[in-house]
Structure 1
């Protein structure tokens, strides 16, 4: 199976000293899965919407099952000069366009954005997460909410606060990977035995 992962720095695993991030850790031991990790540090949903299709088409194959997983939103909530990099409405439009188009190619899944230590952004991320969840329900796209369990647990946020204010270390990424890998939607999506 081929799994193509699109998203921001959390998909890329920025801050993980093992360079696995949550995606690599969630697939640990799955030798039959070819992972294309296309996380882009600093990417917004607008940037991902402009590049994902070209990148996916270069990796899709008729010879084996393919899947596309998206995870984004934190960078959309960044405010510069009092303005959001991407408005919540535009984030939803971008998500809708990507998920709808990708679902026409192969099965698709959205992993919600994780929390960060900044309280103001945390509230914006939580609101966006809830809107992503509703959008996925309408589109009938599987959605895995990691925001609530990671915020409640505290490890992710503590590691992020101790490093650069956004990205955790290996333990935080492992916690997120464990949440995702155990989720029935992920197991079905990745054809886990």
Structure 2
């Protein structure tokens, strides 16, 4: 199994002193028949426009011709920073998912978590737009914004670091959300005990 994980700096675990981020924590709790090859392909502050322009080349170089190839997309809030419209953000994600489906690559999408420096209502709308694109394509979507919007530990962990990125506790919360929202079913593997 080959799992490519694309997204922004949250996908890489920026701010996590242990360097695991949510991806490392999720993979530590994922038992596959044979060890999975996991490629973390993060680009800091990447918008969905930039992501849609690079994903295919990045993934094609790592996937196996006849293997079980998967794509995890970790979305952030950069589209709002760059002033992209919701329609453009939706289209960018749709293009990635449609391209992956055409190549028979299963996708799993993790939405953007809250950030204190980003308008909460705008981020809620962006997350909702991403969720809708995924729902229409029957692609699993993990909503992280709403569960963490008023979560004390999330906000305390972000505030204790650089004020934008979570630390170990925050990444643990993101990993928990991923693991409890269809991850094991999507991979077709047993839930880790």
Instruction: Report deviation, 1:63.
Output: 4.2
Q: Is 1:41–2:38 an aligned residue pair?
A: no
Please name the residue that 2:91 is paired with.
93
For residue 129 of structure 2, the aligned residue among 128, 131, 135 is: 131
Aligned residue for 2:6? 6
Structure 1, unpaired ranges of 5+: none
**Deviation (angstroms), 1:191:** 2.7
Matches of 2:168 and 2:140, distance apart in 1:
26
Runs of 4+ with >2 A deviation? none
> How is 1:1-193 mapped onto 2 (pairs within 5 angstroms)?
1-30=1-30, 32-78=35-81, 84=83, 86-105=84-103, 106-118=105-117, 120-183=118-181, 185-193=182-190
Q: Secondary structure at the match of 1:64?
A: coil
Q: CA deviation at 1:29?
A: 4.6
- Partner Cα distance (2:139, 2:110) in 1: 11
Deviation at 1:28, TM superposition (A): 0.5
> Which consecutive residues of structure 2, in runs of 5 or more, have no partner in the other structure?
none
1:2-47 Cα distance to aligned partner (Å, 9 max, x none): 1100111111111011111111111105462221011111111111
Q: Find the aligned partners of 1:141 and 1:179 in 2 and give their Cα distance.
A: 16
Equivalent residues of 2:127, 2:145 under 8 A apart: yes
- Across the two proteins, how many residue pairs are aligned to each other? 186
TM-score by length of 2: 0.90
How far has the Cα of 1:98 moved from its partner?
0.7
CA distance in 2, matches of 1:78, 1:71: 17
2:142–2:177 CA contact under 8 A, matched in 1: no
Q: Which moved more, 1:147-156 or 1:19-28?
A: 147-156
* Aligned counterparts of 1:135 and 1:3: Cα–Cα separation in 2: 21
- Output the aligned Cα RMSD: 1.6
For 2:17, what is the secondary structure of its paired residue? coil
- TM norm structure 1: 0.90
- 1:99 to partner: Cα distance: 1.0
Contact preservation (8 Å) 2:157, 2:166: yes
